[in-house]
Amino acid sequence: MIINKSFIENKLANIKVEYLETCTSTNKILKNATYLTDTLLIAEEQTSGVGRLNRNFVSNKNKGIYMSLLTFKKIDLKYLNKVTPITAVIVSNAIDELINDNTKIKWVNDIYLKDKKICGILVESVIVNNRLEKLIIGIGINTYSQTFDEELSKKASTIEDLTNIKTSRNELIINIINNLNKALDNIDDISYMKEYIHKSNLINKEVIVNINDTEYIAKVLDITLDAELVVEIDNSIYTLTTAEVTKIKF
């Protein structure tokens, strides 16, 4: 199922679509681009796909959706921390509609299906004089059956391998971008964050959390409406904003 640039562009409102067979990273390209209007860059393959914390995001050719949205929406800086969770909700819902199943969200930016990661999100911003100049939202989804290395296969999979459904990448892209575009225009709507909390796969779970390069065993108690993770560590309660959950202990 090929990606049809013209079809996608005709279904999006006021967003230019660019398509590449291969590239280094869609986020990197858009972050340094000179586009002046909202632009969606889609690639069939990334040779240097980037995930959160500068980790590599495997982007095998013709096997997934590798895209980044460049937007110039006037978003107040106080809402920037909500862009990632809102994007996660939009992506999760779009996948759910196509596969008739329920994906979950691992704080803060990963989509899980049947306890396997199928999607990662990377949001980057350019801020000038304390104002948001542009926002780049990268989304990588493992759609079609593929082989990962031994270590990655322990925690990641694809939509097709988990459901036997070969989803339309075109329809999934259109659904995600149109709904994300609307959500960014209503970023102060707390219903997105409530849904984010509802879709969490961490609440009431014991996890390994990395805080400033030190790992702790923690119990996840809640996620706040500001996308903070509330955990209990050694009988003390902490509210985390930048930590990483490295393992979920089922």
Tally of structural domains, the chain: 2
**Does residue 6 carry a pLDDT above 60?**
yes
Residues 163 and 77 in one domain: yes
What angle separates helix 83-99 from helix 191-198, to the nearest 10 degrees? 60
Residues 27 and 120 in one domain: yes
Looking up residue 152, the CATH number of its domain turns out to be 3.30.930.10
Span 154-193, pLDDT tens digits = 899 999 999 999 999 999 999 999 999 999 999 999 999 9
CA distances from 218 to 57, 132, 151, 201, 212 (A): 27, 35, 24, 14, 15
Span 54-100, pLDDT tens digits = 566 777 888 999 999 999 999 999 999 999 999 999 999 999 999 99
**Does residue 53 carry a pLDDT above 60?**
no
Its domain, for residue 238, covers 206-249
Residues 212 and 192 in one domain: no
**Does residue 234 carry a pLDDT above 90?**
yes
Residues 26 and 53 in one domain: yes
Give the model's confidence band at 52: pLDDT under 50 very low, under 70 low, under 90 confident, else very high: low
pLDDT of residue 147: 87
Residues 6 or more apart from 225 whose CB is under 8 A from it? Answer: 190, 193, 194, 197
Residues 14 and 86 in one domain: yes
pLDDT of residue 102: 96
* C-alpha to C-alpha distance for 2 and 27, rounded to whole angstroms: 21
Residues 46 and 129 in one domain: yes
Run of H or E residues at 208: strand 206-211
**Does residue 199 carry a pLDDT above 90?**
yes
Q: End of a domain among 198, 217, 240?
A: 198
Residues 169 and 229 in one domain: no
Residue 78 in tokens:
């106080």
The mean pLDDT of the chain is 93
Q: End of a domain among 198, 217, 236?
A: 198
Residue 236 in tokens:
């003390």
Residues 32 and 74 in one domain: yes
* Ramachandran class of 62: left when φ > 0, alpha when ψ lies in -120 to 50, beta otherwise: left
Residues 165 and 236 in one domain: no
Residues 150 and 234 in one domain: no
pTM for the full model?
0.94
pLDDT of residue 55: 64
Looking up residue 215, the CATH number of its domain turns out to be 2.30.30
Residues 156 and 223 in one domain: no
Residues 33-41 have a mean pLDDT of: 95
Give the model's confidence band at 247: pLDDT under 50 very low, under 70 low, under 90 confident, else very high: confident
Q: 162 in helix, strand or coil?
A: helix
Residues 181 and 220 in one domain: no
